[in-house]
Chains A and B, each alone.
Chain A
C-alpha cells in the first residue's frame, strides 16, 4: 500500500462509487482490518452511510469481512486490499476481451457483472437479453437460451466463477444488485475462525452451471418508459419468478483474464521477434495448456510435437518437418520463449512462462530508458543488464561512447535510480582511491519502482481528466440542457425551425471548445488504458518472481 497506490485507489473509488465510499475505502486501505465502531469513529461519517458504503464494497468483492481478532465473539472486521481496487482500471480491457472472444453477448454479460459486482445467472441473462433486444430492429428479440449458452461458455472457460458462499452473511434476497445485504452485525453466528478466507476455487462447484429454467425472450422497453426505467433501475427489482438458482452468485474471474492477457503478450512478442507462423505455434501450445497449467506455474506442461501438429489450426497446413524446424528455431532463440523438455513423442516442448515474462519486463524497462534518456543511455543500460557489474572505464570501452558523455549519462541514470553503484573496497577503511566502484542494474527493484511511477502516472491522468471536466462544467451542463430540449422537441414533433433555433443557442466557439474537450478526455482515457498495459506486464513479472 504505497502512497501512490492509495492515491490511485481513492481516485478510482471516487469515480465509480462516489465520495463517501472513497473516504471509507481509503481509510480501510490505510489502516488494515478494522471493525465497524473504529471505522465510524475515525471517519466521522454517519452510521447509515458507513453501512451502505461497506455494502457497496462487499458487493463488489472489494472488501471482505471476517470475525475479529480476539475470537468468535468479537466484532467482525472489514478488510480491503489495493489489488482489487486497481482492477477497476482494467475493466475496459476485460470487456473488450470478452467481446473479441464471445461477441456482443459475452461483452454485455461481462459488463453487467462488472457493474453489479455479482449477480445470479438468471438475472444476468434477463438483463442482457433485454439490453440486446433494445438494440435490435423492430420485431426481433433476443432469446434467453442464446444468452444462457453464452453464459455457460464463459463459465466453461473459467472466465466466470461462483462467489464463495458466505456462511456468516445474512442470505441475500434473490434479486439483483441494489438491495443492500445487511452487513454482518456484531454478534451474528460467526463463521469458523480463520483469517484467510477461502478462495472461490476451493469450492468444488466453482465452475458448475446450475440448472435454471429460463424460457422467454428479451423484452423491448418502449421509449416512453425510458424515464421510468432509469428510476426503477435503482429500486430493487422484485422478481416474482424463481428460476432455481437462488443464492448462487457469479462473479468475474479476474485471474483467468490475466492469464489470457499474459498469453496474448507472449504471442505478440513472438510474432514481433520471429514471424507469424511461430506465433501461431506458440498460440496453439498455450491454448492446449490453458486448463492444465496452474496460474503460477513456471512453464506449461510438456507437449509433444505430435500433439502440437494435430492441434494446429487447419488454415496453417505446414508439413511436419517444417513444424519441427520452427520448434527448433523457437528453442534456439535467445529469448527462450519455448524450451525442450524431452525427446519422446517427437520432442516435448514447454512454453517458459516466467522467463518470457522476465524478458518482456526487461524490454519494458529498456524501452522506458530509451524513450526518456536517448538511445545511447539505452545502450549503456542494456550493457549493464547483460554484463551485470562494470567499472566506469569498462562501460566507456564496451559502449564506445566518449568518456565525458558516458560519465554524464551514467550519473543521470544513477540519479534517477535506474542504475546502482556497488562499492568493493580493497582496504577495510573504504578509502575512495582504493575502492572499486561498479555500476549495476537490478531488474526486480527497478521494475517495482517503475510500477509505482505507472500508478502515479495514471493518477495524474485521472486528475487531469477530472480537472478538465470541472473547468468546462458550465459548458457541459449547458450542452446537456440543450440536448434534452432538442430530444423533447423532437419527440413531440416540432418543426425544423424550432430545432435549429435551439441548436443556435450553442455558439460556434463553444462548439469548438466542447469538441476539443471531448478529444482531450478521449485522449486521457486511452492513455490510461495504455499505461495499464505496462502496469499489467510489470505486475505479472513481479508476481511471478514472488512465487518462484
Chain B
C-alpha cells in the first residue's frame, strides 16, 4: 500500500532499522515542537558540550606546556600527566552522562498549560533485529494552579510525573516505499501523549 507523498515526506531505506528510528525520532521531535507546543530544552546537549570542550581545553593547555618546556624536566612530565588525566576524566564524565543520565532521550521540553508547567522527556530505542519503535515517555507537571469558581477544574499542587512505554511496529507507519505516513504517525503520537497525560489527572 502506498500513501500519497506530500511535499515534505520523509523517505528512508526501510531495511535499515537505524534509518527508520532516525526518521521517527526527527518526526517525533518536529511534532512535539509544532503541534505539541513544546519548547525544546537543550540541557543534555549543553552539558555534554561543556564537559567535552573542557576536556579538550585541558588537553590543549597541557600540550602547549609540553611543547614549550623540555620533556626531561620533572615539572613538564608532571603537568603533561595532569593534562592527560584531566582529558580522560572529562571524556569519561561525558560518556557517563550520556549513558547514565541522557540514556536514550531524544527530546526534552516544557510548555505552560493552565494546569501548570508541563515537562516532557521522550526516549526512543529499537531492539536488535526487532522492527519495533519503543518509546519511553516521561511527562511531568509542576506548579500550583487554582480551579475557577464554579467549574470542576483540576488542581495540581507540587509536582507530579508519570512514565509510560509504547511499542509500535514500524510497519504501521511506513509504506512499502519507505515513506513515513505523517498523519498516521502523528495521530498515534497524540494518542500516546494523551494516554500518558491522563494518568496525571486522577
A, B in one complex: no
